[in-house]
Amino acid sequence: MFSGLIIEAAYFLAALLFIYGLKRMASPVTARSGIVVAGWGMVLAVAAAFLYGLDVNERAEPRLVVNFVLVIVALALGIGWAWRSGKKVAMTDMPQMVALYNGMGGGAAAAIAATELFSGNAQAHGLVVTVLAVLGGLIGSVALSGSLVAWAKLDGRMNGTIRLPAQQIINAGLFFAALAIGAAIVAAGLAGGGVPMLLIALFFVVALVLGVMLTTPIGGADMPVVISLYNAFTGLAVAFEGFVLQNPAMIIAGTVVGSAGTLLTLMMAKAMNRPVSNVIFSQFGETGDGDDSEIEGSMKSAEASDAAIAMYYASKVIIVPGYGLAVAQAQHKLYEFVKLLQKQGVDVRFAIHPVAGRMPGHMNVLLAEAGVPYDIIYDLEDINEEFTLADVAIVLGANDVVNPAARTKKSSPIYGMPILNVDYAQQAYVVKRGQGKGYSGVENELFYAENTSMVYGDAQKVMAQMIEAVKSLG
């Protein structure tokens, strides 16, 4: 019915759209259009898969007879749910949504592996296909259950961390058990006697439990890296299952997502000055007592109006956004205040830490939603030296990423993590609801510094007060 050349051309074009879309996502200026381009690539890939199924059915190959009614129903349900949830999700909940969608990608790869293994299709195509199906099933299952735990932590449905005695030994045992069962599945398939369904089911159960056990001990401070890591896992699993199904679009898309996720994970870990293995196997990020050694100095409070006037008459102001800004949904008020400062001639810049917020790029997306121009938003390495030239630095809802203890206190859990040098500014203001600690459980030395004043209150209300104070000046 359909020419194989047309189908292959559609897959090739879809792959080009994936790659081009990802390239455009590398810049905040073109990221939105990049998402649209990659989305059209996915539409084309799905259409090509339909054409492939119709073409195979035309040749009456029973292995790939497709129930198109069920496929269309599944697509309709998926599109409807994603559209509705995407439209209503708050910016503060975006990290949870990313974790959830990422888990669904890993689950889809695991489902493909399960289907191919239970049906015997993978075993019928030989050693390589069977091994890739097993590996994709393992990685996808870990990504699914691990991402669901990350979602539960970020959404407040799972508080704190859960660590068992000999946690790492248990995890290692689960991992090697999954490998052993996977090897047994491959061996049984090659022997030609069929693979017991109970063995395949046990394999996926062990893999899912492994994902849960790997993620529950990891604390909130490490969630951005965990989300990025599971994104890489999902891409790898999809690529493996693409080989199993002989689907070029899945292979290329999975490879691109896997490599991008791996690079992002390494960059995030580097930004925290920690290896990825340390994120997975250590206890950093646990919400607990942290380092409770005494800090010299005391916290000094200031009124929002005083901080606003100080910034209004400053030459250079650097703003450090954090998760508290997202929780308060204060980004629009913040940008309204920034425009008032700019109208006065103040040089205003935003400083973004790589692990600020709850996911990679969270603060960039938050500021973009408010319409903040990209050319005044700077990454840590591009702006850190400018804090010494700033008359005022203001922190809105950030904590660990501005804590000077990371530079000096070797006993601190965050020691060695690069931070934004807010304490080097002439005057620092910290907008915060209370005197709580960050995810690492460490007291923030910045709050006690001689040049720091605390502005207590919800960020949106504080920004409204600052706007009124500046407007009253003239």
**CA 408/CA 440 separation, integer angstroms:** 16
**What CA–CA distance (Å, rounded) separates 472 from 403?**
34
222 is catalytic: no
CA-atom Rg of the chain in angstroms = 25
Q: Which of 292, 306, 379, 400 is catalytic?
A: 400
Backbone angles phi, psi at 349, to 5 degrees: -135, 150
Which stretches within 192-290 are classed as H helix?
197-215, 223-245, 248-271, 276-281
88 exposure class (CB count in 10 Å sphere: 0-12, 13-18, 19+): exposed
Residue identified by tokens 């590996």 is 135
CA 225 to chain centre: 7
**Amino acid at site 367:** L
Contact 122, 244 (CB under 8 A): yes
Q: How far apart are CA 60 and CA 466, in angstroms?
A: 71
Contact 145, 209 (CB under 8 A): yes
Q: What is the DSSP string of 32-88?
A: HHHHHHHHHHHHHHHHHHHHHHHHHHHTT-GGG---HHHHHHHHHHHHHHHHHHHHH
Nearest to 339 by CA among 471, 162, 206: 471
In 3D space, the residue among 229, 230, 233, 255 whose CA is nearest the CA of residue 242 turns out to be 255
User: Which residues are annotated as catalytic?
Assistant: 400
